[in-house]
Amino acid sequence: MFGAPSTLVDTYAPSVGSPGQAVDRSMRRHIRPRLETAGFQDFTARRAWRRRGDVIDVVDFQAVGAHAAASVGCTPFSFSVRAGVRHQACVAADGSSAASTTRPGYEHCTFQVLLGKRLRQPDAFRPWGTGPPRDRSDIWAVEDDASNVEDVVADAGEMLLGTGLPILTELGSPDVAYAALLSRDSTEPSYGLPGVAMPGAPGSPRWVDTVRCLAVRLGRNADDDLATAPVLDPLPEPGQEKSAL
């Protein structure tokens, strides 16, 4: 979707070419220049990367695709916007291959972000073609003829610049990332707000490994910090277990 800069002029009509190509062209014209301004230097058809010392940021515009379109209830060229922060010091914590550390997908990032759209599309989604139409906060629905492509791409761009990239910048700081791990749970996206996935549930092996690798990076005592981590519920004292009622 990013590729080489487009040579199309601003009078480009969404009806030219296939709907998927219309989405691609609109993203090349409106999204890539803004990512370049934000410091992203490496682009492929659907992804962009920004390197900041030992941290890599990734942005991924993911088409719903033909396989999932029926179950999601929208066109296959509708899309979600995913992003992530990769702390290279934590490569061993998630078992990624060496290749995934140079151009990681969002799924190989230490922290993963799923954007929420601001645009409301109340009749855009009808899973399996049954039941009443509905909306989704995490997918931008593109019409069959791509007639709304400029609106959805504009909204996605605003959400990326306004809510997505600031989180990448914030969690790219080892100090902020470490504090977030110890104090925050994962969140789901909603309208106008992104969801942030931590590296595993609090207390899980991957979560603990990530805490420890960032602690080494910061010169912290991981055991002391884990013992007082606000995100971990303390174990109840004997005889004080919560009732199942």
Q: Is residue 221 part of a domain?
A: no
Instruction: Report DSSP state, residue 125.
Output: B
Two structure tokens written together for 122:
């109340």
Amino acid at the residue 167: I
Range of the structural domain that residue 91 is part of: 19-172+184-200
Residue 50 lies in a domain: yes
Question: Is there a domain that residue 82 lies in?
Answer: yes
Low-confidence ranges of the chain (pLDDT < 50): 1-16, 235-245
Confidence (pLDDT) at 234: 60
Provide the number of structural domains found in the chain. 1
Tell me how far apart the alpha carbons of residues 153 and 151 are, in angstroms, rounded to a whole number.
6
φ/ψ (deg, to 5) at 181: -60, -40
- Single pTM value for the model: 0.85
Q: What is the pLDDT of residue 188?
A: 97
Report d(CA 61, CA 151) in Å as an integer: 16
Residue 92 domain-assigned?
Answer: yes
Does the residue 245 lie in any domain?
Answer: no
In 3-state terms the chain splits into helix, strand, coil percentages (rounded to 5) of: 40, 15, 45
